[in-house]
């Protein structure tokens, strides 16, 4: 049976008249009567009592309308839910973000997004880019924020900004260094670096390898806050994006400088893009552009 048959039956029961129901539904009365007759024939039951001046549901009709009425309500709720998602009054978004970008971008980005779209739920997974890419391909994430050096043709890369990578030391010790250090001088410093699962570590490794240098790595960690805490309070230096450093750390210039790192939005190519995802992508580009 068609949903139309049920809506017609409900209208006749509410108006108590085929004529008024037909007017409200903008159909002819004969067409309305025929549709309800077809419904009764399919169900093998008389649903309406037509014998009086006012049309009323039979006992069978009342029982049927009680149950299908709940179904109609759920269908209407579903249609409203679609409209709500499209106008961003509700919805959800699954986001993967690398730790280094997350340490400075996700705070202001989330605050602005929630202020604008308080009904959208963000599910944020902070993980290495090597994990974000397969999660996107398996449809376990809607969007990623990572880096643009991806060769997988199934991942779409939307550039955000170029991150400056720098040698960072405690602000209290920064004045003791020469204005510009050589790569060899940087390699001799005791360094606290992220482990090799991080792209910024791979940038550092390529830098020293290209100069045929072996850096003095005193500490390795998978935690950016741990490295920052160590460098603020010890004679160690680290290599991180400048935006990550915050108070208490200062960059020391080296020549040649480190390569820039291209931050980017990532999504599975050809994947469905919800209204929430589109809004988040636009806002991410705005927020990223505001960083120096």
DSSP 8-state secondary structure symbol assigned to residue 51 = S
Decide yes or no: CATH 1.10.10.1100 for domain 3-86: no
Q: What is the pLDDT of residues 107-137, one digit of tens each?
A: 999 999 999 999 888 999 998 888 899 999 8
Closest CA to 166 of 237, 255, 240: 240
Whether residue 147 is predicted with pLDDT greater than 90 in this model: the reply is: no
Whether residue 104 is predicted with pLDDT greater than 90 in this model: the reply is: no
Q: Report whether 165 contacts 258 (CB < 8 A).
A: yes
Q: What is the pLDDT of residues 250-267, one digit of tens each?
A: 999 999 999 888 899 999
Whether residue 153 is predicted with pLDDT greater than 90 in this model: the reply is: no
Name residues whose C-beta falls within 8 Å of residue 246's C-beta, 6 or more positions apart in sequence. Answer: 104, 228
Q: What is the pLDDT of residues 1-24, one digit of tens each?
A: 578 888 888 889 989 999 998 998
Q: What is the pLDDT of residues 197-206, one digit of tens each?
A: 888 898 999 9
| 3-state DSSP assignment of residue 212 | coil
Whether residue 156 is predicted with pLDDT greater than 80 in this model: the reply is: yes
Q: Any idea which of 40-54, 76-90, 93-107, 163-177 has the lowest mean pLDDT?
A: 76-90
Question: Where do the H-state alpha helices sit in the chain?
Answer: 3-15, 18-25, 29-43, 59-86, 99-116, 129-137, 183-188, 199-210, 224-233, 242-245, 275-290
What is the helix (H) or strand (E) element at residue 125, kind and residue range?
A: strand 120-126
What pLDDT was estimated at residue 160?
A: 92
91-161+262-290 and 165-259, same CATH topology: yes
Name residues whose C-beta falls within 8 Å of residue 84's C-beta, 6 or more positions apart in sequence. Answer: 90, 91, 119
Mean pLDDT of the chain: 88
Query: Left, alpha or beta for 88 (phi > 0: left; psi -120 to 50: alpha)?
Result: left
What pLDDT was estimated at residue 254?
A: 94
Whether residue 237 is predicted with pLDDT greater than 70 in this model: the reply is: yes
Q: Structurally, what CATH architecture does the domain formed by 165-259 represent?
A: 3-Layer(aba) Sandwich (3.40)
What pLDDT was estimated at residue 275?
A: 85
pTM: 0.65
Domain ranges of the chain: 3-86, 91-161+262-290, 165-259
Share of the chain above pLDDT 70, in %: 96
What pLDDT was estimated at residue 266?
A: 95
Whether residue 231 is predicted with pLDDT greater than 90 in this model: the reply is: yes
Superfamily of domain 91-161+262-290: Periplasmic binding protein-like II (3.40.190.10)
Please tell me which residue, 181 or 1, carries the higher pLDDT value: 181
Average pLDDT over residues 145-160: 86
């Amino acid at each position: 049976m068609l949903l139309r048959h049920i809506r017609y039956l409900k209208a006749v029961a509410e108006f108590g008249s085929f004529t008024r129901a037909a007017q409200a539904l903008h159909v002819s009365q004969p067409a309305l009567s025929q549709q309800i007759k077809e419904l009764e024939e399919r169900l093998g039951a008389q649903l309406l009592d037509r014998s009086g001046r006012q049309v009323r549901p039979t006992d069978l009709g009342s029982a049927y309308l009680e149950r299908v009425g709940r179904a109609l309500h759920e269908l209407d709720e579903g249609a409203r839910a679609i409209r709500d998602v499209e106008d961003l009054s509700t919805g959800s978004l699954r986001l993967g973000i690398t730790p280094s970008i997350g340490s400075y971008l996700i705070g202001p980005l989330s605050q602005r997004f929630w202020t604008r779209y308080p009904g959208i739920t963000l599910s944020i997974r902070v993980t290495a880019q090597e994990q974000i890419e397969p999660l996107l391909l398996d449809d376990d994430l809607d969007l990623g924020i990572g880096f643009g050096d991806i060769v997988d043709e199934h991942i779409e890369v939307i550039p955000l900004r170029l991150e400056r990578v720098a040698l960072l030391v405690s602000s209290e010790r920064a004045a003791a260094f020469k204005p510009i250090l050589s790569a060899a001088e940087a390699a001799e410093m005791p360094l606290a670096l992220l482990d090799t699962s991080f792209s910024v570590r791979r940038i550092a490794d390529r830098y020293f390898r290209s100069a045929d240098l072996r850096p003095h790595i005193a500490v390795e960690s998978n935690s950016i806050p741990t490295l920052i805490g160590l460098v603020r309070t010890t004679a160690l230096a680290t290599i991180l994006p400048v935006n990550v450093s915050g108070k208490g750390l200062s960059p020391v210039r080296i020549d040649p400088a480190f390569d820039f790192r291209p931050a980017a939005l990532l999504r599975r190519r050809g994947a469905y893009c919800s209204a929430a995802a589109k809004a988040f992508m636009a806002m991410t580009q705005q927020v990223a552009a505001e960083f120096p």
